[in-house]
Amino acid sequence: MKTERVMLPQLIADYTEATRQAEKFGFLVRDTELQAEQIASLTSLKDRIKEIKYAAIRAKDERAANILFHLQCGLNAQISFLRVWIHLKEGKFYRAWDSLVDTQEYISIAMRSDENGVGLEQFLERLRRVEEVVFPGYRLYNSWGVVMSGGKCSICGRAFSECDHIEGLVYWGRLCVRAAAKFIRMDHVALVDEPRDRRCVITEITTDDGYFRDYMTWKKTKPAGKKEQGVAGKMTAKIFDFNMLEID
């Protein structure tokens, strides 16, 4: 039996205990320094798991690598969730929203990497409740379209059009994505209710009193100017996010 497989039961036990402890701090009222200590502890365990995952890849044990990636993503979800509360207490509300989306996406990737995602469905349900209670809610998001060409598979390094890997699936403890694609031009920006990236949110809207208001805080940010006939209102929004999840 490979060394990585022998270590899995202990790593799973360490993961279970670490996430159990982290859950105690996933609340707004918890002390920020203690939340930061939890993030440091979770990060240390995650880094250890990544090292063993790479050893499993070198040993050509894909099953072990995928299980370890599952644990890695689960820890990243807990880290991102703790950051939600820290950002909120710092008044960084859009960063808190981004961290919530990070948490949701890490859980989604974890569930794709291994079928034994015990407790992750409950975690997603908790995130749904947090989203409803803490944030004002978004019915529309920005979505941008681009024309791009080329790109290489993040798993095998071959041209994306030539390999057999499917984007969005997990292979060998890594998420398959199109890497190093060439962006030719931006084609359009649209408002949609089901975006590719839920971080691309509306940040300001105009109201009947003639001002732009911050969508999160509802504070007036600047005068909106004279209202144009036939125009319901104006807004500002994020059209692109450079956030990169840990996918390998």
85: Cβ contacts below 8 Å, ≥ 6 apart: 25, 26, 27, 28, 30, 32, 35, 96
**What does the pLDDT read at residue 4?**
60
Residue 237 in tokens: 């929004």
* Spatial CA neighbour of 135 closest among 108, 100, 102: 100
Locus of tokens 């995952």:
53
Alpha-helical (H) ranges within the chain are 3-23, 32-58, 62-89, 93-113, 120-134
Residue 13 DSSP SS3: helix
* Residue 87 CA, distance from chain mean position: 15
Locus of tokens 């920006």:
189
* Spatial CA neighbour of 246 closest among 83, 79, 82: 79
Residue boundaries of the structural domains of the chain: 3-134, 141-237
**What does the pLDDT read at residue 233?**
85
**What does the pLDDT read at residue 1?**
43
**What does the pLDDT read at residue 151?**
87
Q: Which residues pair with 202 in a beta bridge?
A: 237
Residue 46 in tokens: 């995650």
CB 73 within 8 A of CB 106: yes
**pLDDT lower than 70: segments of the chain:** 1-6, 115-118, 184
* Spatial CA neighbour of 144 closest among 96, 199, 74, 100: 199
**221-247: pLDDT as tens digits:** 999 988 787 777 899 999 888 788 999
